[in-house]
Structure 1
Amino acid sequence: MTTSPIKTTYEALRSRPLGRRIFSTIVSLKAPYFRTIRPAIISLEPGRGVARMRDRWGVHNHIGTVHAIACCNLAELVAGTTIDYSLPESHRWIPKGMNVAYLKKARGTLTAVGTIDGLDTLQVGEARDVIVAVDVTDRAGVVVVHADITMWVTPRRAS
């Protein structure tokens, strides 16, 4: 089976000086649209991932707060890296849908935490939807955006 490049690269870099910054840059180069928010991946572990986005002019909307779609971008980034890191090597994923609730005006540095439950019951050969729940919080820990991102998980093709 193929080991996830996300998992392999994160494990190789996470404890090195500037390793997480380098990893975040690599992810943004692989999926260039993520560069628009300049994300920092803080941690990845089975079932949980954390990423951060600084508040800066380039992610603002017309009223000076962090744009809703920038928040969605952060949520999708943490959901994708978390599921990629968490899935067994026998499976792959692709985003299928996203339900988002904008709960408060987003200001300041934002932190997204993605969590996945139920992957331990995924069977070899099984295909199904998996929900990655993401809370995006401000510096005070207030949830400003909640997203449930549906990933279509399928077995990898035999090589």
Structure 2
Amino acid sequence: MLGKLVRKVTTGESNYTTKRCANADKTLSIRDTYVAWGNLARLGRLRPWAFTLLINYVNPYSKSVHFRVTTLERGLCTAVMKEQTRTHNPFNSIHAGALFTFGETVSAMAVFSRLGTKSRAIPTGANIEYFKKARGLITATAEFSPGELAGRQEKTSELTIVDSYLDTVAKMSIQWVIDTK
């Protein structure tokens, strides 16, 4: 059922009647994040929730941090994550691993929103610098401005994670190998 929904949302098809392949649905949906976000606009306030369901279907590990995408534009993604006991460390703050997962997922959506359906991006490295304990509502904003994309290139996306007081909690940069076709 969700596979059909993913296919409809990512391609904009109104009637999907051909047999589907689960892996093809996943590949298509993650490469067309920007198209999927646009197609969900008619849901209004339910769009962030529905889009997060699709992302969690494609990337089940990201489901562990319970985030919501609030903005998705070409090369820009903003998402929020609420502090929960399941993401706590022993020091009563959000675990560094949860922040890393959250940051990498948001960065991937910013990168994939700039790529075509035939292009692919693979993260090859990530650097994260923590400035203070993460508590409360956390917001991550990823920017990806690659310039000209042609052939195989290495590019970097930048991400900032802030808390509800707008204090910087962490900064992250992810190196991507992008292969355009």
Same fold, judged at TM 0.5 (above): yes
Alignment correspondent of 1:8: 35
Partners of 1:135 and 1:14 lie apart in 2 by 26
2:64 pairs with 1:36: yes
SS of the aligned residue for 2:43 comes to coil
The one-letter code matched in structure 2 to 1:5 is D
Give the conservation status (yes or no) of the 8 Å contact 1:94–1:151.
yes
Q: Which has the higher contact order (CA 8 A, sep 6+)?
A: 1
TM-score, length-scaled by structure 2: 0.79
For structure 2, the 5+ residue unaligned runs are 1-27
2:60 pairs with 1:55: no
2:132 pairs with 1:121: no
SS of the aligned residue for 1:121 comes to coil
Aligned pairs, number? 152
SS of the aligned residue for 1:73 comes to helix
The Cα shift of 1:95 comes to 1.1
Alignment correspondent of 1:79: 107
Partners of 1:98 and 1:151 lie apart in 2 by 9
The one-letter code matched in structure 2 to 1:146 is K
SS of the aligned residue for 1:120 comes to coil
The one-letter code matched in structure 2 to 1:109 is L
Sequence identity (%)? 23
TM-score, length-scaled by structure 1: 0.89
The Cα shift of 1:7 comes to 2.2
Partners of 2:53 and 2:32 lie apart in 1 by 14
RMSD: 1.6
Partners of 1:107 and 1:20 lie apart in 2 by 22
Partners of 2:62 and 2:133 lie apart in 1 by 21
The Cα shift of 1:90 comes to 4.7
Give the conservation status (yes or no) of the 8 Å contact 1:14–1:20.
no
For structure 1, the 5+ residue unaligned runs are none
Whichever structure has more helix as a proportion of its residues is: 2
2:172 pairs with 1:144: no
